Amino acid sequence: THLLCLCPQPDLVERLISVDISPVSTAPVSEFSAYISAMKSVKIPDGLPRSAARQLADDQLRPVVQVGNPWMVFLLPALVEVEGRHIWRVNLEAISHHLADIMNFPVFHKPYPGPTLFLGGSNSPYISSKDYPEIQRLFPKADVQYIEGAGHIVHQDKFEEFMTAVLNFLPPP
């Protein structure tokens, strides 16, 4: 969504809410590269029920993706059953080959003029005070807010607070 706002037609977006991500490269590529490698190495016998397959995948991913890591919420649902086999719904080869491009934010020179809310979790590192100058440069009408006690998956961790912040930012109907 950041990219759509910063493209040659920013008027396509009336308002922007960016949830726990900033317009700078924030996460080390090596961390996600390790996740992708771990996902590629998961071995699940054919014919297992989905719950058993996900538990087995969880057990095999744990050495790389520790308990409490918010990325596990995204990884396990990507495991799907197709004709009795469990496979990853995402294209791991494409992701691993283009991970640096995915994790990096391109350089833009023209800012997005509309109202913008950067809504982060107070327990997440993905919107940092060191990002504020770039946020202000690219999104001059930006407001940065944090939801206390939320991690990276803000809407899951603190749903009511998340909804309140979003509704307060949107114009009245």
What CATH number has the domain bearing residue 125? 3.40.50.1820
User: Counting Cβ atoms within 10 Å, is residue 172 exposed (0-12), middle (13-18) or buried (19+)?
Assistant: exposed
Number of domains in the chain: 2
As a whole number of angstroms, the distance between CA 20 and CA 1 comes to 13
pLDDT tens digits, 57-94: 989 988 887 766 666 667 778 888 888 899 998 888 88
* Number of Cβ atoms within 10 Å of the Cβ of 53: 21
Q: Is this model's pTM higher than 0.85 or not?
A: no
- For residue 72, being part of any structural domain is answered with yes
- What pLDDT does 103 receive? 72
- What pLDDT does 73 receive? 66
Q: How confident is the model at residue 9 (pLDDT cuts 50, 70, 90)?
A: low
Dihedral angle over CA of 63, 67, 69, 73, nearest 10: 100
Of 80, 100, 120, at which residue does a domain stop?
A: 100
Tell me what the mean pLDDT of segment 119-141 comes to. Answer: 92
As a whole number of angstroms, the distance between CA 70 and CA 53 comes to 20
Domain that holds residue 34: 29-100
